[in-house]
Amino acid sequence: VPELPDVEILRRYLDSTALHQEIESVQADADSVLKGISSQGLGKKLSGDSFQGTRRHGKFLFISLEKDSDWLVLHFGMTGSLIYYKLAEKEPEYQLVSFNFTNGYHLAYVMTRKFGEVRIIPDVFGFIEERKMGPDVYSQGFTFEEFKKCLAKRHGMVKPTLMNQSIMAGIGNVYADEILFQAGIYPETKVNQLNQAELHEIYQQIKNVLQTAIDHQADPNSYPDSFLSPLRGDQDANCPRCDGKLEHIKVSGRSTYYCSNCQKKPG
Question: What gap in Å lies between CA 111 and CA 38, rounded to an integer?
Answer: 18
Q: Can you tell me which of 42, 118, 158, 262 binds Zn ion, judged by CB under 5 A?
A: 262
The residue (of 126 and 244) whose beta carbon lies closer to Zn ion is 244
Three-state SS string over 211-255 comes to HHHHHCCCCHHHCCCCCCHHHCCCCCCECCCCCCECEEEEECCEE
Helix axes 173-183, 196-215, angle to 10 degrees: 130
By the rule CB under 5 A, 185 interacts with Zn ion: no
CB of 239 to Zn ion, least distance (A): 3
d(CA 182, CA 161): 17
Residues 76, 81, 87, 90, CA torsion sign: negative
Residue 167 found at the interface with Zn ion (CB under 5 A) = no
60: Cβ contacts below 8 Å, ≥ 6 apart: 7, 73, 74, 75, 127, 133
Tell whether residue 64 is a contact of Zn ion (CB under 5 A). no
Q: How far is the CB of 178 from Zn ion (least distance, A)?
A: 14
Give the E-state strand segments of 139-194 in sequence order.
none
Measured from the CB atom, is 63 or 259 closer to Zn ion?
Answer: 259
* Candidate residues 26, 171, 199, 259; the one interacting with Zn ion per rule CB under 5 A: 259
Q: Which is nearer to Zn ion, 98 or 182 (CB)?
A: 182
Count of chain residues binding Zn ion (CB under 5 A): 7
260 binds Zn ion (CB under 5 A): no
Stretch that binds Zn ion, among 19-27, 145-153, 197-205, 257-265 (CB under 5 A): 257-265
Angle at 80 between CA 23 and CA 255, to 5 degrees: 160
Footprint of Zn ion on 212-251 (CB under 5 A)? 239, 241-242, 244
Closest distance of CB 247 from Zn ion, Å? 10
Residue 117 or 247 having the CB closest to Zn ion: 247
Contact present, 202 and 179 (Cβ < 8 Å): yes
To Zn ion, the closest distance from the beta carbon of 198 in angstroms equals 17
- Considering beta carbons, is residue 154 or 241 the nearer one to Zn ion? 241
Q: How far is the CB of 263 from Zn ion (least distance, A)?
A: 8
Kindly tell me which of 36 and 244 has the beta carbon lying closer to Zn ion. Answer: 244
Smaller CB distance to Zn ion: residue 87 or 242? 242
- Give min distance, CB of 136 to Zn ion, in A: 30
Taking each helix axis from N to C terminus, what angle separates 144-151 and 196-215, rounded to the nearest 10 degrees?
120
196 three-state secondary structure: helix
Closest CA to 57 of 114, 142, 156: 142
Q: Bridge partners of 110?
A: 81, 95
Q: Which positions touch Zn ion (CB under 5 A)?
A: 239, 241-242, 244, 259, 261-262
